[in-house]
């Protein structure tokens, strides 16, 4: 076996060459493996001679299988023997490419190993970042209570005209300069009066109408509307009332409060306020961490960023997005249709954010090294036990609990948490 190595600073290429004689042992193994599944009259499975099998399946099929077996048997040794000095710099998984494969010729393949970049950290202490003050007003609490009452409202069909608080079921068409808007047609759309459905003022146009009434009207879309093609435009609506429901909100009393896990109305208000404060604190923390890393990335320098790692991160992000859509009961194909993008379009769009994620992981690693941040065995064992409790009923997770991969995963998460805690300690300005 002949090996050549090239280090470009961004990746290591190990070119492995096996002579035809060295490949023959794998050709024999490949023949046995293939002939297990190929029926040849007069021969038992796994006992078909090479020359006969070659005529049956083609020599390239056998060569390809032999090459796969050779790579499996020799690649690990080639890596271990040739990257001793760069072991700590290797990131990601090896990429293997067959470069030469032909009968009576040496087999050649290439192993590509990505190298971590050299990272020069920018300022990561004393950034003096201010967190927004949390102030939950009484009106915000009352708005949540109103929403909770609305969610539990009783409904009954009525022949009366639509009044404030009622629900209308409508068929709707939307036009821009008399041209139908794509996606602007809907059937049996539920609209609660007073909820500012679609845009401010829409529900008010339905007040006074009753079942089977039709109406045409125009409304301006806000300049900052998320649908850029409609923002600031005057949109024409055609609606038909399919059904009208009179809604009765439950009384705001002790029974209502107890149904929501509170002792009384005052206790309900207090619990809502506490939940809102907790949610606001979490949003504040996320916003602060994002700000810190944005500043850090702007001032840090990287010798290079692996395109392969960025590509892998894009696929991770797509996988996360698919999972989230499916968790909500949707289909990813429908989601793509809704945003009018192909998966390839989405991948291209996600590249900048994926690159940021990759850079952030290297920044965290560099801070860990510079600050000598460590995870103790006790911390690791405790975190691993807590992780296993979450997946107590998952037998597959339990099987993985004692593996090095699982413990490395837990250790990595703990180190990340420690770095983030330190960054908050170093950079948040108390006012």
Quick check: 75 and 96 in contact, CB under 8 A?
yes
Quick check: 306 and 91 in contact, CB under 8 A?
yes
Q: Which domains does the chain have, with CATH numbers?
A: 2-115 (3.30.70.1050), 154-248 (3.10.50.40), 276-429 (1.10.3120.10)
Quick check: 44 and 37 in contact, CB under 8 A?
no
How many alpha carbons fall within 13 Å on the CB side of residue 73? 14
Longest pairwise C-alpha distance within the chain: 92
Pairing of strands 428-429, 129-130: parallel
Kindly tell me the burial class for residue 6, based on how many C-beta atoms sit within 10 Å of its own C-beta (0-12, 13-18, 19 or more). exposed
Q: Write down the pLDDT at residue 389.
A: 81
How many alpha carbons fall within 13 Å on the CB side of residue 171? 7
Q: To which H or E segment does residue 244 belong? A: strand 234-248
Query: 3-class DSSP state for residue 14?
Result: strand
Measured distance CA(193)–CA(1) in Å, rounded = 78
SS (H, E, C) 211-229: CCCEEEEEEECCCCCCCCC
Q: Write down the pLDDT at residue 431.
A: 56
Q: Write down the pLDDT at residue 40.
A: 76
Query: 3-class DSSP state for residue 49?
Result: coil
How many alpha carbons fall within 13 Å on the CB side of residue 69? 19
- In 3D space, the residue among 119, 206, 209, 125 whose CA is nearest the CA of residue 160 turns out to be 209
- pTM score of the predicted model: 0.75
Q: Write down the pLDDT at residue 430.
A: 67
User: In 17-58, which ranges are continuous DSSP H helix?
Assistant: 20-35, 50-57
Q: Write down the pLDDT at residue 72.
A: 94
Quick check: 34 and 61 in contact, CB under 8 A?
yes
pLDDT in tens, the chain (431 residues): 899 999 988 999 999 999 999 999 999 899 888 888 888 777 777 778 778 888 888 989 999 999 999 999 999 999 998 887 777 789 888 999 999 999 999 999 999 999 999 999 999 999 999 888 899 999 999 999 999 998 899 999 999 999 999 999 999 999 999 999 988 899 999 999 987 777 889 999 999 999 999 999 999 999 988 888 888 999 999 999 999 999 999 999 999 999 999 999 999 999 999 999 999 999 999 999 999 999 999 999 999 998 889 999 999 999 999 999 998 888 899 889 888 899 999 999 999 999 999 999 999 999 999 999 999 999 998 988 888 887 766 677 667 767 888 888 899 999 999 999 999 999 998 65
Quick check: 398 and 362 in contact, CB under 8 A?
no
Residue 199, φ and ψ in degrees, nearest 5: -145, 160
Q: Round to the nearest angstrom and report the end-to-end CA distance of the chain.
A: 67
Tokens 């093609």 sit at which residue? Answer: 229
Measured distance CA(375)–CA(398) in Å, rounded = 22
């Amino acid at each position: 076996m002949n090996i050549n190595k090239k280090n470009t600073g961004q990746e290591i290429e190990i070119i492995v060459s096996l002579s035809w004689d060295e490949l023959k042992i794998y050709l024999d193994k490949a023949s046995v493996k293939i002939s297990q599944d190929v029926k040849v009259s007069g021969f038992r499975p796994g006992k078909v001679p090479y020359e006969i099998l070659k005529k049956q399946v083609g020599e390239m099929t056998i060569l390809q299988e032999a090459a796969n077996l050779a790579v499996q048997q020799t690649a690990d040794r080639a890596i271990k023997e040739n990257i001793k000095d760069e072991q700590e710099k290797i990131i990601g998984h090896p990429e293997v490419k067959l470069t030469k494969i032909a009968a009576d010729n040496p087999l050649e393949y290439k192993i590509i190993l990505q190298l971590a970049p050299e990272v020069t950290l920018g300022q990561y202490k004393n950034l003096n970042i201010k967190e927004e003050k949390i102030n939950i007003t009484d009106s915000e609490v009352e708005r949540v209570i109103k929403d909770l009452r609305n969610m539990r409202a009783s409904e009954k069909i009525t022949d009366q005209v639509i009044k404030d608080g009622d629900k209308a079921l409508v068929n709707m068409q939307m036009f821009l300069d008399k041209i139908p808007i794509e996606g602007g047609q809907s059937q049996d759309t539920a609209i609660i009066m007073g909820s500012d459905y679609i845009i401010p003022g829409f529900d008010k146009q339905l007040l006074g109408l009753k079942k089977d009434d039709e109406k045409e009207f125009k409304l301006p879309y806000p300049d900052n509307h998320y649908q850029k093609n409609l923002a600031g435009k005057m949109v024409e609506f055609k609606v038909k009332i399919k059904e009208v429901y009179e809604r009765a909100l439950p009384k705001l009393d002790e029974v209502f409060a107890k149904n929501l896990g509170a002792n009384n109305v005052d206790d309900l208000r207090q619990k809502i306020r506490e939940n809102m404060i907790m949610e606001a604190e979490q949003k504040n923390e996320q916003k602060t961490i994002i700000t810190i890393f944005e500043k850090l990335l702007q001032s840090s320098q990287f010798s290079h960023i692996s395109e392969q790692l960025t590509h892998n991160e894009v696929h991770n992000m797509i996988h996360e997005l698919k999972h989230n859509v499916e968790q909500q009961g949707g289909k990813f194909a429908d989601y793509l249709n809704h945003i009018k993008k192909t998966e390839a379009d989405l991948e291209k769009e996600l590249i900048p954010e994926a690159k940021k994620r990759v850079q952030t992981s290297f920044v965290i690693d560099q801070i860990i090294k510079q600050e000598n941040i460590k995870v103790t065995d006790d911390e690791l064992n405790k975190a691993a036990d807590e992780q296993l409790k979450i997946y107590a009923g998952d037998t597959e997770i339990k099987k993985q609990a004692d593996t090095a991969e699982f413990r490395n995963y837990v250790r990595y998460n703990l180190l990340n948490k420690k770095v983030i805690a330190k960054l908050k300690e170093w950079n948040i300005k108390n006012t």
